[in-house]
Amino acid sequence: MLTIHQKIRSGLLVMITGALLVTSCNKDPEAFAPIVPEVPTGDMLGTVLDASDNDSLYYRLVVRAGMATALNDPGHQYTMFVPNNNAMKQAINALSGGLVPLNAPDAVFSGFIQTQITPEQAFAIVNYNIIPEKVSFASFGNTFPNFQYPSLFNPAPSVSSLLRLTTFPSARNGNWVNNVPATVTDREAGNGYIHNTAALITPPQRYLWNRIDTDTDLEYLKAAILRADSATNQGGAVGNLQGLLLNIGANFTVYAPTDQAFQNILTLAITQALIAQGVPPGTAATQAAALASSPTVFQNPALFPVLTSQVVQGIVVYHVTINRSFTNNFPTTQTNVPTVLNTVIPNHPGIGLSVTMGAPFPTAATVKGAENPAPANIILNASPLLPDPLGTSDQHYLNGVLHKIDQVLIPLPL
């Protein structure tokens, strides 16, 4: 009650002080001139793209998307991420399965855009390449994790009219949009900026779980997630972790151990457990290798006392952070960041991330678990921008990013 009375007295003092100030001024409020919005001058974005020989193929995509008029509206400001003609040719060469060779005439590439890319596909790509505000590249900042900017693209309007896919531009370790280098920045138009990129940046179309569920090198991780969810997915319902990995509102990075990484750690852990039970070391190693040889190890009732759903859940969530981290945005010296496990163990040190940058792509990236003797290596893409389902690092999904790693991260002593 005393606190309430103190708050009431404090509020009265504020009111009395305000009244005294008004009385002491004793004059009419000043009249302020209305704010008049500045009218953009110069060529608008659509006109700038149309006039640029090196942006001609992307402008064909803009026209196919029905966005040319919108980009010339002086009442709206935009920032665009635009691949030049060479980048567009590489994208079309890949989309055509090599049927459109890189040395084909520009008219062939334009024809592919007009006939093989639907207006809906073009609309999705172009809108994902647009931020609805005018932002110079330096303003994107160089923090970790990099700041996310909503694009114009809504991938699921039936879920929410306010939903927008986000892009992740960054001036850290170079200039980047997601994991794609920006080659030319701050080309200013009357109503925005154009930042050219080294590749066509397309919107993600799948969820993290879709990749884990279908990748034949992530079968142990899939089995571990299902084991972790076994206490909550009764009657065939989707479990907690699987549900999060299918949630479009999530924003994760998954450090995904390969099947071999899981086999290695499970063989070691089971061997130690068998030796502790009195099994001779040689026999224990043989039995452990057999048990760990299949992802069904997580469904083996004999191992349930050790691989409980809670233990497995703790291991899985230790491989997930609550942000999207592309390797090009990692710290260049090992830096600890929290994982989902920190929501249960707040004082846990998390995982240590580090990258070695090349020109311009990363040449090495690591992630260290608290109890791992040495950091795990992120298995970098064989080609820097290799896409899903073939890529092994910086794979971008509707609800996060996935990197394959060569060790299971250990949060606590075995």
Output the DSSP codes for 166-190.
Answer: EE-EE-SSS-EETTEEEEEEEEEET
**Strands, E, within 251-377: which ranges?**
252-257, 320-321, 335-337, 351-357, 362-368, 376-377
**8-46: b (≥16 Cβ within 10 Å) or e:** eeeeeeeeeeeeeeeeeeeeeeeeeeeeeeeebeebbbb
The average pLDDT across 21-34 equals 46
The average pLDDT across 32-37 equals 54
Residues in the chain: 414
Residue pair 401/325 in contact by the 8 Å Cβ criterion:
yes
To the nearest 10°, report the CA torsion of 393, 359, 54, 151: 40
What is the pLDDT, as a whole number, of residue 239?
65
What is the band of 32 on the pLDDT scale with cuts at 50, 70, 90?
A: low
Q: Does residue 308 have a pLDDT over 50?
A: yes
Q: Parallel, antiparallel, or unpaired: how do β-strands 149-150 and 166-167 relate?
A: antiparallel
The average pLDDT across 387-413 equals 95
- Give the C-alpha separation, 79 to 137, whole Å: 10
- Give the C-alpha separation, 123 to 156, whole Å: 14
Lowest mean pLDDT among 139-153, 202-216, 236-250: 236-250
Residue pair 158/129 in contact by the 8 Å Cβ criterion:
no
Q: Does residue 222 have a pLDDT over 90?
A: yes
List the alpha helices (DSSP H) in 189-302.
Answer: 208-214, 219-228, 240-244, 259-276, 281-291
Q: Does residue 4 have a pLDDT over 60?
A: no
- Give the C-alpha separation, 264 to 273, whole Å: 15
Burial of 109 (0-12, 13-18, 19+ CB in 10 A): buried
Q: Does residue 10 have a pLDDT over 70?
A: no
The average pLDDT across 34-48 equals 76
pLDDT in tens, 223-233: 999 999 987 65
What is the pLDDT, as a whole number, of residue 387?
87
In 3-state terms, the chain is what percent helix, strand and coil (to 5)?
Answer: 40, 15, 45
What is the pLDDT, as a whole number, of residue 38?
59
- Give the C-alpha separation, 85 to 251, whole Å: 32
What is the band of 85 on the pLDDT scale with cuts at 50, 70, 90?
A: very high
The average pLDDT across 42-62 equals 97
What's the N-to-C CA distance of the chain in angstroms?
52
What is the band of 220 on the pLDDT scale with cuts at 50, 70, 90?
A: very high
Residue with token string 């907690």 = 240
pLDDT in tens, 311-351: 999 999 999 999 999 999 999 999 999 999 999 999 999 99
**pTM attached to this predicted model:** 0.87
What is the pLDDT, as a whole number, of residue 41?
67
What is the band of 206 on the pLDDT scale with cuts at 50, 70, 90?
A: very high
Angle, helices 106-116 vs 85-95, to 10°: value is 50
Q: Does residue 112 have a pLDDT over 60?
A: yes
Q: Does residue 235 have a pLDDT over 50?
A: no
Q: Does residue 300 have a pLDDT over 60?
A: yes
Angle, helices 56-65 vs 85-95, to 10°: value is 60
Q: Does residue 92 have a pLDDT over 50?
A: yes
Q: What does the mean pLDDT of the chain come to?
A: 90
